[in-house]
Amino acid sequence: MSDGAGNGVYVYGVVVSGARIPGELEPVGEQGGEIGLLDHRDLAAVVSDVPTDRKLGRRADLLAHERVVNAVAAEVTMLPMRFGGVVTDDQAVVDELLEDNHDFFVEALSRLDGCVQFVLYGRYDQDTVLGSIVEQDPAIAELSRSLRDTDPDATHYERIKLGERIASAMERERTADAEKVVELLEPLSEAVVVKAAGGEDGAVNVALLVRRDRTAEFDTAVDALGDEWSDRVELQLIGRVAPFDFLPERDGGTED
């Protein structure tokens, strides 16, 4: 696509040749060109021209990259690039990316064929969960009662001890909830990755690779879990998104 006049080629990812990608996507770069496909044998790179007179990396660039790879991955099987995949021209895309990695890309696309990634993220209702922890753990309940209406300075170490016990109990809660998600959704998924929930109120953070023909069944199961946990966890299902958590590993791989 590049005309060579101060432009490079920005690569979003790799799909099979002949794939139909969504139209009217906003490219990376303030004056980036139209997004299209650069075919080579049975593969195609999703690309756009990008000016080379400024460095990429602004928040707007990152968000544009994310929107494009997620929009394409929602429609077709895609091996997404990490942000910043710029090469000099079309021939470099063919020679250095599609040809050099041909067999690896074909196998990876075959493994992911027909699948899409979802991320299930949840946050605790702190009052509900902490109340449950205090109710279920007599030691925490007793220590909490003993510290009521006491001087914070005089009971500094006791309060640290209470905080540590509550943090440990919260971590056990997260582990149990992540196990519940896996138990429920793994049978409906091709692969599952449990990630750190993050934050004090983080409950679960699980990436799931789901076959497109099972997404309705998968959505129903997530809705049922959301109803079951409605008083203690706010669940958010993010997807369909690019399958970054399920890319096959290889030195260089799709992160070059």
Tokens, residue 85: 């995949």
pTM for the structure as a whole: 0.84
pLDDT at 3: 54
pLDDT at 101: 94
Q: Is 71 exposed, middle or buried (0-12, 13-18, 19+ CB in 10 A)?
A: buried
pLDDT at 183: 97
Q: How many CA atoms lie within 13 A of 131 on its CB side?
A: 7
Give the Å distances, CA to CA, from 137 to 45, 123, 177, 203: 56, 22, 18, 19
Mean pLDDT by groups of 10 residues along the chain of 256 residues: 71 95 86 84 94 83 93 95 86 95 95 96 92 84 79 80 84 94 98 93 96 96 97 94 90 45
pLDDT at 146: 79
pLDDT at 63: 92
Torsion of CA 125, 130, 132, 135, to 10 degrees: -160
| CA–CA gap between residue 87 and residue 114 (Å, rounded) | 29
pLDDT at 13: 95
pLDDT at 4: 54
pLDDT at 253: 40
